[in-house]
Amino acid sequence: AQKITQTQPGMFVQEKEAVTLDCTYDTSDQSYGLFWYKQPSSGEMIFLIYQGSYDEQNATEGRYSLNFQKARKSANLVISASQLGDSAMYFCAMRGGDGFGNEKLTFGTGTRLTIIP
């Protein structure tokens, strides 16, 4: 079984500051993928960044980077230079390697990020 833990229910950050959203995971799979999604109040889940279990370098996508520490089973999202539009729910999710075509994502409970002007 896979499990994602997000221990920060809510965070408040000043605009233009960097913010780190925590995510730890548990799995017995050797191959897996870790994803971060952003969910604005509209409800849509917006894909932000991906990290594979065998990737040696941390993933980066624009202002988003993923701090991947495999031994500690953590995959924290770092947002640099936060903007007001970053205010949303953020979900960490995992996709396991238990067979072809498995697209089941296991999500954490999310972190509500609020950017303060």
Partner 1 sequence: DAGVTQSPTHLIKTRGQHVTLRCSPISGHKSVSWYQQVLGQGPQFIFQYYEKEERGRGNFPDRFSARQFPNYSSELNVNALLLGDSALYLCASSPQGTESYNSPLHFGNGTRLTVT
Binding site for partner 1 (CB under 8 A): 4, 31-33, 35, 37, 42-47, 50, 52-53, 91, 93, 95-97, 100-110
- Cβ-based nearer residue to partner 1, 19 or 110: 110
What is the SS3 string spanning 23-59?
Answer: CEEECCCCCEEEEEEEECCCCCCEEEEEEECCCCCCC
Amino acid at 19: V
The token duo for 106 is: 């296991």
- Cβ-based nearer residue to partner 1, 10 or 18: 10
Instruction: Identify whether the C-beta of residue 86 lies closer than 8 Å to the C-beta of residue 93.
Output: no
- Cβ-based nearer residue to partner 1, 40 or 81: 40
Shortest Cβ 5–partner 1 spacing (Å): 11
Shortest Cβ 29–partner 1 spacing (Å): 9
Q: Region of 16 please: left (phi>0), alpha (psi -120 to 50) or beta.
A: left
- Cβ-based nearer residue to partner 1, 13 or 50: 50
Shortest Cβ 81–partner 1 spacing (Å): 23
